[in-house]
Structure formats: C-alpha cells, structure tokens
Structure 1
Amino acid sequence: MPVIELTLLLLLAIAVGGALVRWTPLPLPILLVVVGLACSFLPGLDAIHIDPELFLLLFIPPILFADAWVLPRRDFVRVLKPVLLLALGLVVLTVIAVGYVMHWLIPSMPLAVAFTLGAIVSPTDAVATVATTEVLPLPGRIVHIVNAESLLNDASGLVAFKLAVAAAATGLFSSAEVAGNFVILAGGGMVVGIACEWFGRQLRQRLIRLQAGDPVLQTLLTVLIPYGAYLAAEALHVSGILAVVAAGLWASGQEIKGLTADARRHAREVWRMLSYILNGLVFVLLGLQLRRMLTSVDHFAPLDLALYALVLWLLLMALRIGWVWASAHVRFRLHWGWAGSRSGPDPKRMLLVSWAAVRGSITLATALSVPAFVAGGSPFPERDLVVFLAAATIILTLALNGVPLPWIIRKLALDNEEEAEREESAARAEIARAAIGAVTLSAKGLADPEDVFFVEQLVHRYEGKLELLEGDSENANLRATHITLRRHLRLAAIRAERERLHELHAADAINDETLRTIEAELDERELISSTSVNRG
C-alpha cells in the first residue's frame, strides 16, 4: 500500500480508537492494538513491514523526549536510587535469568540468543502503563518511578540488546568487554544528549535576542532537538536512546527565557498533539505487526509456543516482584535513598510498582531489528522464535498487567497526590499575595473613581482566592458556590455572544476572517471562565 494512503489509514484508526475508548472498558493503548490487529486482516495491510531503524528514528526520539521533558527534575532526583535499581539492576538480572531459563527450556536456542531475548523483553513501557491508568491514575511517586524507570531501562535494555546480538552474531563473549562497551555507549549517549540540548537552547535564546522569537519557529526547533540528539549519538556509535532521554531530562524545567505566553502555549499544544499521534501510531503499528509476528514460527507445536510464552511472562513477573520487594527492604534497612514510611515498605505501593510492567514499542522495535543472518551468512539462530516470544510478551503484559491495573488501583484505595495538592495550594496562595502587593503598590496615587473601583475589585478577587485556599471550610464552600454561579453566568454570556456571531456570519454580515478572529477571543475567554473552582 502506498505510504500516503497507509498514513491516512493509520491516522483514521487512531481517531476511531480515540472515539471508541469512551464506550469500551479497554484503555486506549490496548484498544489501538486491537484496532491495528483487526486492520491487519484487511487486504493490503496483512503484509506491512516496518523497518526497525526507521521506526526507532521516527517515533521513539520525540516520544521519549516528551516523557523526559515533563518528568519533574526534583521528583526524578528523589526517586533516582530506586529507579537505578530497577533500570540497571533489574535489567541485568532479567537478561541473565531469562537467558539461562529459556536456554534450558529450549535447548535449540543458543545462550547468546536467549540473552538477546532477555534484553528485548527487559524494558517496560511507561506510555502504555500511564495511559492505561488515565481514569484512575497511579499515586504521584509511583508514576515518577515508573516513568523514570522506563526512560532509563529503554536505554539500558537497548544497550544490552546490541551487546547480546553482537555476541550471538560473532560467537564471542567477554564480560570485561561488555562492561566497557556498556559504559562507553551509555556515558557517550548522555554526553551527546546534554550537548545537543544545550546547543539547541543557546540557538533559541540567540534567535530571541535577534527578535526572531516566533512561536512556530521556537516550537519547530524544540521538535528537532530529540532527532538531532538521536542522529548525533548514532553517528558517534553511542546510545541514541539514552542521548534523547538525557536531552529531555536536561531540558526539563528549563523554559527559554524571553518566550511569550503565546509561544509557550503553542509549544504545549503542538507537543500534546504530536505525542498523541505518535503514541497512537506506535500502538496501531504494534497491532498490525502482531499477527505476522505470532504466525512466523511454524517448527514448534502451538501448545509448546503457548507454554514458552507463559513461562516467560511468569518469569518476568517473578523477577520483577522479587526485585521490587527485596530492593525496597534493603533500601529501608540501610537507609539508602528511603523516602517511604518509617515502619517499612508499603505492600500496596510495591504491588503497584511490580504490576506496572507493560511492554510496548521498544520491545516491538528491538524484536524486529534482530538480524536475519549472523557472521558467515548463516541464519540467526531461532530468530522467528525470539520475535514470537517478544510479541507474546507484549500481548500478555498488555492483557494481564495493563487491563487489570485500574481495578487494582481502585481496590488498593491509596491516597493520591496529597503532597502535590498541598504544594500547589501553597504556591497559589503565595502568588495571590504577590499579586495583591503589586496591585496595591501600582495603585498608589490613583484619583479617578473608576480606577480606584477597578483596583478594589482586583484586590478583592485575589483576597477571595486566599480565602478559598486558606480560609475555614464553611467560608471556602460559600465562596466556591459564588464562584461557580458567576462562572455559569459568564459562560452563558459567552454562549450568547457566539450564537449571535454565527448568526451574523450566516447572514453574510461578517466574513470568515472576522469570524475566526472574534471566535478565537471567545474561546480564550471561555477557557479562562471554565477553569475549576480551586483555580477560580
């Protein structure tokens, strides 16, 4: 199928999935996989082949960069130690354990190839995990751990994959050489990523000083940063994935000085749409590929294949649960980076971290990038079986980990975001006080009664915010009721304005340009008026 038609069809599949998700119990990522799997039965879509290198280049850099960019740097530092244990320690344990167990279970699979399989299935997918819990979100600290782990274990898993594939292709393996290559690939990737992000930020600042701070241009340069970091790292033969993650983490919280509110809003909206489309494409393409990946093995009995896949999933879950619980207790006993309860690890939170182990796009891309031939031209041993087991792992984790996760969250009934809510309320109160001080200072000397009245109204509005945030509950509830009533009145007025505007347009009293200009202003006012009571 031609690329243009295929792209439009994939975008249509994303739109259909986004519309249907409200009427199905399935989370959006899983629904998109199902839509993609259904599309694979359509003529022309049953033989779609994805170039793994092109897949990694087009989709992974912006997705990982966006995830790293929105990860709070302070919270990332707070969870760094448990994340490193998961992203490095658990990945190494998974590669080794899966390698030996699958080699023992399937003697025809060489040990180096079994290690390759372990590296493929070791990274988790934070995008799928967070998206499956959108309605009932995970507690803040767990979200930070899961997201940060996924960002780092994507890189560590891919580095381990490259080393395992090289060992399987050449038949040579040296633990010292592997360790040295890992340090070079990982360290080099981080340096390249930070350097590319710094260069991009300096370029944007220079353009702002030259009065070239157009929102579209600034956003375009931001989108180019992850691609530049990935390509530069791959050209230098270091980890492109880790370069993108490092660039995103380095950019986190460092908004360019001098950007206008319009530029920041434009960047947020563009990245929101870009992330939605790219993530949707990843899951639809995953569904398109699953059918071929699952039917590529024909020299094993179906029951044996099902047994191998189930054993692999059970092994992955046993390793993760054991590692999460053991590492948490070790950190608690040694007081090493422990930020939890003084009585010890919370079993409920450990269960959520353990169960949030969905595999997705990285597993798909690495499985498809396994070479068809090794050194000397002979076929890669059991390549089809490796691809099948990777695809089966994706399906099993989506179905057995992703689907029940919202139900598990509901049953555990954990307190969610209490610290974040207190922090946000305190910040809103502080900026309200700052606004009152600035208005009072600026209003000194005003003599016109209308100006004085406006100042009094403005100060009263900020005092109302403080009362809502810090006052007693009875007064706060009364003010919230008044705010809600006034918001409804403002929205009713805006709706009347919009209806009259469209009547004028329908009567040819105004042209399309005037319609768009005034309606954009009405949209802005409606967005402001529609904010929650707590932000009122």
Structure 2
Amino acid sequence: MGLMISSFIILVAVALSNIVARYVPGISSTYINLAVGILVGLVPLTNHLVLAFNNDIFMIFVLAPLLFFEGQATPLLIVRKKVKNIVGTAVLLAVASAALVALAINQLVSLLIPVDLIIVAISTPTDATAFDSVIEGRKISRPLQKTLKMESLFNDATGIILLQAGILWLSTGHLSFWTNAREFLLAAVGGLVIGAGLAILLVAFRQYFVRSSNNVISSQTLLYILTPFCIYFVAEELGVSGIIAVVAAGLVHNSEANRSRFSSPRQMHLGIQINNFAGEVLNSFVFVVLGISLERIFFARYSAMMTSLQWLAVGVLVYLLLLLCRYVYARFFVTDKQRRTASLFALGGVHGTVTLAMTFSIGSQIASATFNFILIVETVVIILSMLVPTIVFKIILPRDLDAENRLAELARLRHEMVKVGIQRVKQMKLSPAVQASVIYDLRDQVQKNSLPAFFRQWQAVTANKTVLTGLQSVAQRRALMHAFNAERQYLYELAKQHVVSSDYVYEIYSEILLSESLVLDPRNQLI
C-alpha cells in the first residue's frame, strides 16, 4: 500500500511539474522536475507518504524500462559504426578515469584507496537525459551528441563492476585485477548475449502472431510492456548485467520496428505512443525522485556536513579530476580532437539518478559513517555535473534559433492550413448544421474554439439538440475529408516549393492523418 501511495504522489508531482515547465520556457523541464521533487520532500505530509529510496525497485521498475526505450530509439546500425567509440568511452575511459582519480584523491586527501575507488566508480555512469537538460535551447554537434548518448547507454555496467571491485577491496583488503576483469567481461558480454537472445526470441514469438490471423493487439502490447522487466530480472538472476541486457534488447526491438511497422499499423502506432509516453514520464519521474532524495540527504545529514567540509573538498576534486580525464581523452580519441570539442565532451559527462541509485545500493555493504560520507560526496558530484555545464553552455554554445522559432512557425502553418480547410467547406453545399459542426471541428485544430464555446457544444450534444441525422453524419464525414484533403494539398505545395522546413510540414501533415483516422476508422470512434 505504501508503495502505491508513494508512486501516486510522485506521478502527480511529475504531471504538475511538466505543466509548470510549460509556463517557464527559459528553464529546462528537468530542473522544474527537480525543484518540485525538493518541494515534495520539504512538505511534511508528502515527505511522510513517499517511501525511502529503494535501489532494487528503482532499477527494475524505472531504470530498466527507461534504458530499454532509449535503446529502442537507437538504430543498431549506429551502434555498429560506433563500437570503437563505445568501447573507448564506456570501458577504457571509465576504467582509466577510475584508476587515475582514485590514486589522485588518495594522494590529496587522507582516505583509504578502496573508498576512493568506490566514490569514483559511482561517479562513472553518465546520464543522457540530464545532458539533454543542460543543453536545452543550445546548438551542439550531432556527432558529439551521439557519442555522449552511446557512452551513457553502456557505461553503467562498467561503473557497477568497478563499484563491486572497490567494495570487495574494502572488505578483504585485496584487489584482484584478473578476477574483476573476468567479472566485467562476464557481466558485459553475458548481458549482451542474454539481452539480445531473449529479445530475438520474444520478437520471433510476437512476429509469428502479427503475421497470422490470431494476432491479439492487447496481448502483444502487454508482452511488449513486460519485456524490459523480464529481461532485466532474468539477466540479474543469471549473474550478468541487467542494464546491458535491456539496452541490447532495446536495440534489437529497434530493428524489429523498422521492418514490421506496416504488418499491424494499429499495434505499431500504439507501441510508439507507449514508448513516447513512458519515456517522458519515466524521465520526469527520475528527476522528481532525485529532488526528493537530495532534500532528504541534505536535512538528514546537515549536522555531519557542517562538522567538516572534507565531503565538499572530495566532491569538488572528484568532479574536476573526472572533467580533466574526459578532456584529455577527447583531445586524443573523440571526433575532431579540437579543444572546443574536448571541452564540450568533458562537460557533457553529466551524472544523475543512476549515480544516486548506485550509492544507495551499497548502504548495507559498508560502515554507516563511510556510507554517509560517500552519499554526501556523490550529491556534490551530481549537483556540480548539472550546474556547471548548464552555466558554461549558456555562455559558449550558440542559441538554437530553430528550436525557439519552431512553435511560432508551426502555429502559423496550422492557422493558414485551417483557413484553407474552412474555405473549402464553405464552397460545399451543406446544411447550416453540418457546416457549423465541421467548421467547429476544423477550428479545434488550432485551438480557436473558446472554453465557453466548447461547453455550449457539449451541452447541446448532451441534451440531444445538435445530433445529426444519418444523412447529415455522412455529409459531415465527407466535408471533413474534403477539408483535410485541401489542408494536405496546401502543405504539399509548401514542401514542394521549399518554402518551409520539411520537418514542420511532416509534423502537421501527420496530425491531419491522425485526425482523419478519427473520422474514418470505426475503432477510433467513441460513438
């Protein structure tokens, strides 16, 4: 019961924070999610109802599906082309950074080197969603974006293996390089094999039914939703990386979607909508949880934090040294090897909730005082990794004017398109009732009908005052089809003349097709 109430409160916070973000266009929605999470933690009632952070629940029910959807959004062909970069950033850079920074911290601060390794290992995974938030509204090269995304998809497993090595070293006093190397290969390669293998079996099973007369869309969709949970659980039970397994499964499903999208269009469309919806909700969920966790960490450990500032020194050192390692690596191995590119790559190593989840996962494995210290240090690393690039990118990156003008341009195109559609309807011989109904529907495409107008329509339909006859309904459907056709033709001419961006035309064109499906497809109609 407590888990249900806790999830409900966080989901409400997600919904409200995303609405608030629409009214604060200058600030990334991620920061609004974070701020609302902190607010939930500050209010005694909601803070009491939200359960303490549970690493296992978070990894299975939030991170696994999120990584699965992110993997599915990544073409397998890109991964094949970027294998060298992925191994370099997700493995070599992570391991080298962990070793160098741990040794440097040991020399600069009087901490046990296994503790240093644990701290740096937890700081290894990067977060693609957090990176997107710090560059919002700014232009950055697509190759660099892809490199950073590939790194964040695969470096979690490296961080987990390094973390296990650090904990083992702390508890036994010994570090076995070959044992840990073997465990890493087993976890990573095993995760890839298990994830891809199970995904292929599930794809074959679902495709068999998609291509038969016995296909059941509800069952297919349910199997699809359960896929990341099942694969993560099986992989972890077999002792390999569940994170790598769900990423591999997502990549396999990307290829499936590309070659079966017309086999069952309704199923494919529903799957895409589930992907988009779940991805947006889970991303926001992650940062609301992060906000709640940061608030609790600060207030629960305020006294210890004020006693000594060693945690702050270590947190700042870890972040700066990791930044330096990333910069040096980028100067030799990433894209054009220019200083600017290296600086962007270094700052792009943003940390988020995965770092926090890994920190909480060691709570029962080390001494309480050591855990509290590591938790506060990682909090500093997370905050710095988000705050510093947000400020620096605002200074060094150009504004994304295309993104800023996008909404205004789309609104203008929709307005002109609807004018064409309404003009076409007025040229037709329709009864006043049918014409008024069709024009009302067309005006809804650009939100030109006021709230009072909607309630008048709603009241009239409810009171059975404006229900059209059978012949009038047929005339209404035909009028809408003619109007939509005129709108599509208008957009087609714009695209042919290269007057506006094709992306804008395709986006609005697809909206018209969806609207038309609501008119024509019996399964999309509510009455």
TM-score, length of structure 1 as denominator length: 0.75
Partner in structure 2 of residue 489 of structure 1: 420
Partner in structure 1 of residue 461 of structure 2: 505
Matched, 1:72 2:75: yes
Counterparts of 2:354 and 2:272, CA distance in 1: 25
| DSSP-derived class of the 2:240 partner | coil
CA separation of 1:238/1:490 partners in 2, compared to 1, >3 Å: closer, same or farther? same
Pairwise CA distance, 1:175: 0.7
Counterparts of 1:15 and 1:310, CA distance in 2: 34
Q: Does the 8 A contact of 1:491 with 1:526 survive in 2?
A: no
The number of residue pairs the alignment matches comes to 448
Deviations 1:441-478 (A, max 9, x none): xxxxxxxxxxxxxxxxxxxxxxxxxxxxxxxxxxxxxx
Q: Does the 8 A contact of 2:330 with 2:337 survive in 1?
A: no
Pairwise CA distance, 1:237: 0.9
What is the letter of the counterpart of residue 243 of structure 2? I
Matched, 1:36 2:30: no
Counterparts of 2:396 and 2:194, CA distance in 1: 40
CA separation of 1:350/1:80 partners in 2, compared to 1, >3 Å: closer, same or farther? farther
Counterparts of 2:22 and 2:179, CA distance in 1: 51
| DSSP-derived class of the 1:410 partner | coil
Counterparts of 2:67 and 2:139, CA distance in 1: 20
Pairwise CA distance, 1:382: 1.2
CA separation of 1:42/1:325 partners in 2, compared to 1, >3 Å: closer, same or farther? same
Counterparts of 1:81 and 1:194, CA distance in 2: 20
Runs of 4+ in 1 over 6 A off after TM superposition: 413-416, 481-484, 521-524
What is the letter of the counterpart of residue 353 of structure 1? F
CA separation of 1:167/1:70 partners in 2, compared to 1, >3 Å: closer, same or farther? same
Matched, 1:263 2:264: no
Counterparts of 1:182 and 1:401, CA distance in 2: 31
| DSSP-derived class of the 1:231 partner | helix
Q: State the Cα RMSD in Å.
A: 3.5
Matched, 1:296 2:288: no
| DSSP-derived class of the 1:252 partner | helix
Counterparts of 2:485 and 2:271, CA distance in 1: 21
Partner in structure 2 of residue 162 of structure 1: 164
CA separation of 1:211/1:284 partners in 2, compared to 1, >3 Å: closer, same or farther? same
Partner in structure 1 of residue 105 of structure 2: 102
Matched, 1:280 2:297: no
| DSSP-derived class of the 1:357 partner | coil
Which of 202, 205, 215 lines up with 1:203 in the alignment? Answer: 205
Which of 356, 359, 377 lines up with 1:389 in the alignment? Answer: 377
- Structure 1 portions without partners, runs of 5+: 329-339, 417-480
Counterparts of 1:415 and 1:320, CA distance in 2: 30
What is the letter of the counterpart of residue 76 of structure 1? V
Partner in structure 2 of residue 410 of structure 1: 398
Give the percent of matched residue pairs that are identical in Structure 1 and Structure 2.
22
Alignment of structure 1 residues 348-497 onto 2, 5 Å: 348-374=340-366, 379=367, 382-405=370-393, 407-410=395-398, 485=416, 488-490=419-421, 495-497=439-441
Which of 312, 325, 329 lines up with 2:318 in the alignment? Answer: 312
CA separation of 1:185/1:15 partners in 2, compared to 1, >3 Å: closer, same or farther? same
Pairwise CA distance, 1:406: 5.1
| DSSP-derived class of the 1:382 partner | helix
Counterparts of 1:522 and 1:171, CA distance in 2: 75
Deviations 1:262-312 (A, max 9, x none): 221111111111111111111101110112323437556353332222222
Q: Does the 8 A contact of 1:103 with 1:111 survive in 2?
A: yes
Partner in structure 2 of residue 20 of structure 1: 20
Counterparts of 1:510 and 1:84, CA distance in 2: 65
Pairwise CA distance, 1:72: 2.4
Pairwise CA distance, 1:526: 10
Counterparts of 1:91 and 1:490, CA distance in 2: 57
Pairwise CA distance, 1:178: 0.9
What is the letter of the counterpart of residue 349 of structure 1? T
Deviations 1:173-218 (A, max 9, x none): 2111111111111111111101111111011112224434344333
Counterparts of 2:273 and 2:105, CA distance in 1: 45
Matched, 1:175 2:209: no
| DSSP-derived class of the 2:42 partner | coil
Counterparts of 1:527 and 1:204, CA distance in 2: 39
Counterparts of 1:45 and 1:351, CA distance in 2: 41
Matched, 1:345 2:337: yes
CA separation of 1:170/1:495 partners in 2, compared to 1, >3 Å: closer, same or farther? farther
Matched, 1:89 2:92: yes
What is the letter of the counterpart of residue 21 of structure 1? A
